[in-house]
Amino acid sequence: MTDHIPLTLLTGALGAGKTTLLNRILAGGAGGRIAVIVNEFGEMGLDHDLIIGTVEDMVLLASGCLCCTLRGDLITALTDLLAKRAAGQLTFDRLVVETTGLADPAPVLHTLMVEPALAQTIRLDGVVTVCDAALGAAGLDRVPEALAQVAMADVLVISKADRVTPLALGAFQARLARLAPLARQNVAGPQMDLAALFGHGVPDAAIGAEDWLLSAPALPLRPFAAAPETGLLGAAFAPPLPRHDGTVTAVSARIDTPVHPMMLEFFLDTLLALRGPDILRMKALLWVQGHDAPFALHAVQHIVDPPIRLEGWRGTDRTSRIVVIGRNMTEDDLQAALGLLRAPA
Ligand SMILES: Nc1nc2c(ncn2[C@@H]2O[C@H](COP(=O)(O)OP(=O)(O)OP(=O)(O)O)[C@@H](O)[C@H]2O)c(=O)[nH]1
């Protein structure tokens, strides 16, 4: 996995500020040498001219949308870039694909992860979604794709915060946290740490999996066993989950007995085969029976990266922790599936 070229999917609603962010990234040098693929909807490729960068490392996919008509073109564009890199004609360390504002990121990610030639060479490093604070919650509700873009994000960049009051910004951020409890939020501006946009893929063994899994301090992990819903401790430490917002639901579980490998397989088969298209993201740190080190598991829809065995546990907490974000699924659906992980084989 370490030799794979990291790919960042840059998404966000129409006019949210994707190109502005991309220009800042290219100008700031964060993320190393970057090759860019820009997708625009419309006859004229305009963004292409608005991006100030190393033009020979940039490909424009115009007149269609990556998530519907242009998936083949994306594969071709990536394959060409990778071939030029292999031939020494291009030198980049990272790929950024900017989608149109109308794109549903799910099928784009699907394309990237299942195309055999690409899956061997690139790895998804993260989904960065630009969220327009000036449009606020209304902007999210207007287009269903906007919700998916937020729910699938690893990182949210909130643009146009300068155009709203601190109160409105806070309310918008709270809404985003409900939709994407796993995502880190950054407010765009000169102070933003651009390096924080990168490095969100499945961790190498060296990277702390707990940091990766718990990248969202906003999401408390609920003990899977009946949590004390009443009483002082319950009130203080078991805030209500799932996080639910319209069609998007996030549930989490902590499992304090080792997961049987067969039940893990059964869980993945059941949840992902039956409800794969509705699983937006899943991240887990798993304590698997018979192993003294944890496994990191990462899925986008029904595509699961092979579990990665980490070097060891950090700290004393040896429980499995799992977070699933689903679309059009109830908490019961998700909790029933998670229950499989607790069952003996
Ligand atoms: N005030 C303010 N304006 C911004 C900010 N970010 C972007 N803009 C402006 O918003 C407009 C759209 O920005 P773009 O970067 O082109 O947005 P985009 O998401 O690439 O747009 P499309 O490709 O058309 O979907 C431009 O006029 C930007 O200058 C911000 O943080 N604050």
Cα–Cα distance between 240 and 85 in angstroms, integer?
49
188 lines ligand 1 (CB under 6 A): yes
Bridging pattern class, strands 295-300 and 303-304: antiparallel
Q: How far is the CA of 15 from the centre of ligand 1 (A)?
A: 5
pTM for the complete prediction? 0.72
Class of 5-197 in CATH: alpha beta
Half-sphere exposure at residue 109, Cβ-oriented, CA atoms within 13 angstroms: 30
209-342 adopts what CATH topology? Hypothetical Protein Yjia; Chain: A;domain 2 (3.30.1220)
**Distance from the CA of 39 to the center of ligand 1, in angstroms?**
16
Helix (H) / strand (E) element for 289: namely none
CA-based radius of gyration for the chain: 20
Query: Residues spanned by CATH 3.30.1220.10 within the chain?
Result: 209-342
The verdict on ipTM greater than 0.85 is yes
Tell me how far the alpha carbon of residue 21 lies from the centroid of ligand 1, in angstroms. Answer: 8
Per-residue pLDDT of the chain (345 residues; tens, 9 = 90+): 457 899 999 999 878 898 889 888 888 777 788 888 887 544 334 444 444 444 445 666 555 555 555 567 788 888 888 898 899 888 888 999 888 766 778 777 777 777 777 878 888 888 999 999 998 988 888 777 888 889 888 899 999 999 999 999 999 999 998 888 778 899 999 899 999 999 877 544 434 445 555 443 334 433 333 333 322 222 222 333 344 456 777 777 788 889 999 998 888 888 877 777 777 778 788 899 999 888 888 776 666 777 878 778 877 778 888 878 777 777 777 778 788 888 776
159 lines ligand 1 (CB under 6 A): yes
Q: Which of the listed residues 11, 20, 52 should we mutate to test ligand 1's pocket, taking the one with most ligand atoms within 8 A of CB?
A: 20
- Taking alpha carbons only, the member of 129, 89, 83 closest to residue 109 is 129
